[in-house]
Structure 1
Amino acid sequence: MSEPEAPRTSPTPDRAPELGTPEGAYRMMRLIREFETLALDWVRAGEIPGGVHPYIGQEAVAVGVCGALAPGDQLTSTHRGHGHVLAKGADPARLLAELAGREGGLNRGRGGSMHAADLSLGVLGANGMVGAGAAIAVGAAWAAARLGRSTVVVAFFGDGALNQGVLLEALNLASVRRAPVVFVCENNGYATTLPATAGIGGSALGRAAAFGVPAVTVDGMDVDAVRQAAGEAVARARAGRGPGFLECLTYRFEGHHTMENRLRLGYRSAEEVALWRARDPLERLRPRVAAADRIDAEVAERLRAAADWALASPRPEPAGAGDWLYADGPLPRPGVPA
Structure 2
Amino acid sequence: ANQGQVFEAFNMAKLWNLPCIFVCENNGYGMGTSAERSSASTNYYARGDYIPGIWVDGMDILSVREATRYAIAHCTDEKGPIVLEMMTYRYSGHSMSDPGTSYRTREEVSEVRQTRDPITSFRELILNSSLITPEKIKEIDDEVKKVIDSAVPKAKACEEVGPEELTTDICLNFLEPSIRNITPWSPLKHSRLAEQFIK
After TM superposition, the score normalised by the length of structure 2 is 0.73
Greater RCO between the two (CA within 8 Å, min separation 6)? 1
**Counterparts of 1:316 and 1:273, CA distance in 2:** 35
Question: Secondary structure of 1:274's match?
Answer: helix
**Counterparts of 2:7 and 2:85, CA distance in 1:** 15
Match for 2:14: what amino acid? Answer: S
Q: 2:55 aligns with which of 201, 217, 238?
A: 217
Structure 1 ranges of 4+ moved more than 6 A = 322-325
**Counterparts of 2:80 and 2:96, CA distance in 1:** 38
**Counterparts of 2:101 and 2:120, CA distance in 1:** 28
Q: CA deviation at 1:205?
A: 2.7
Paired position in structure 2 for 1:305: 150
Q: CA deviation at 1:258?
A: 2.4
Q: 1:274 aligns with which of 102, 107, 110?
A: 110
**Counterparts of 1:247 and 1:316, CA distance in 2:** 32
**Counterparts of 1:312 and 1:163, CA distance in 2:** 40
**Counterparts of 2:2 and 2:66, CA distance in 1:** 27
**Counterparts of 1:304 and 1:312, CA distance in 2:** 13
Is 2:46 the partner of 1:206? yes
**Counterparts of 2:52 and 2:161, CA distance in 1:** 46
Question: Secondary structure of 1:163's match?
Answer: coil
Match for 2:33: what amino acid? Answer: L
| Contact 2:59/2:88 (<8 A) preserved | yes
* Residue segments in structure 2 that go unaligned for 5+ positions in a row: 127-131, 163-183, 192-199
Match for 2:82: what amino acid? Answer: G
Higher radius of gyration, 1 or 2: 2
Q: What RMSD, in angstroms, separates the aligned Cα atoms of the two structures?
A: 2.4
Question: Secondary structure of 1:267's match?
Answer: coil
**Counterparts of 1:316 and 1:208, CA distance in 2:** 36
Is 2:93 the partner of 1:283? no
Q: 1:196 aligns with which of 35, 38, 50?
A: 35
Paired position in structure 2 for 1:259: 97
Q: Describe the shift of the 1:270–1:179 C-alpha distance in structure 2 as closer, same or farther (beyond 3 A).
A: same
Question: Secondary structure of 1:205's match?
Answer: helix
After TM superposition, the score normalised by the length of structure 1 is 0.44
Paired position in structure 2 for 1:168: 7
**Counterparts of 1:235 and 1:304, CA distance in 2:** 38
Aligned-residue sequence identity (percent) comes to: 34
Question: Secondary structure of 2:47's match?
Answer: helix
**Counterparts of 2:69 and 2:190, CA distance in 1:** 38
**Counterparts of 1:184 and 1:234, CA distance in 2:** 12
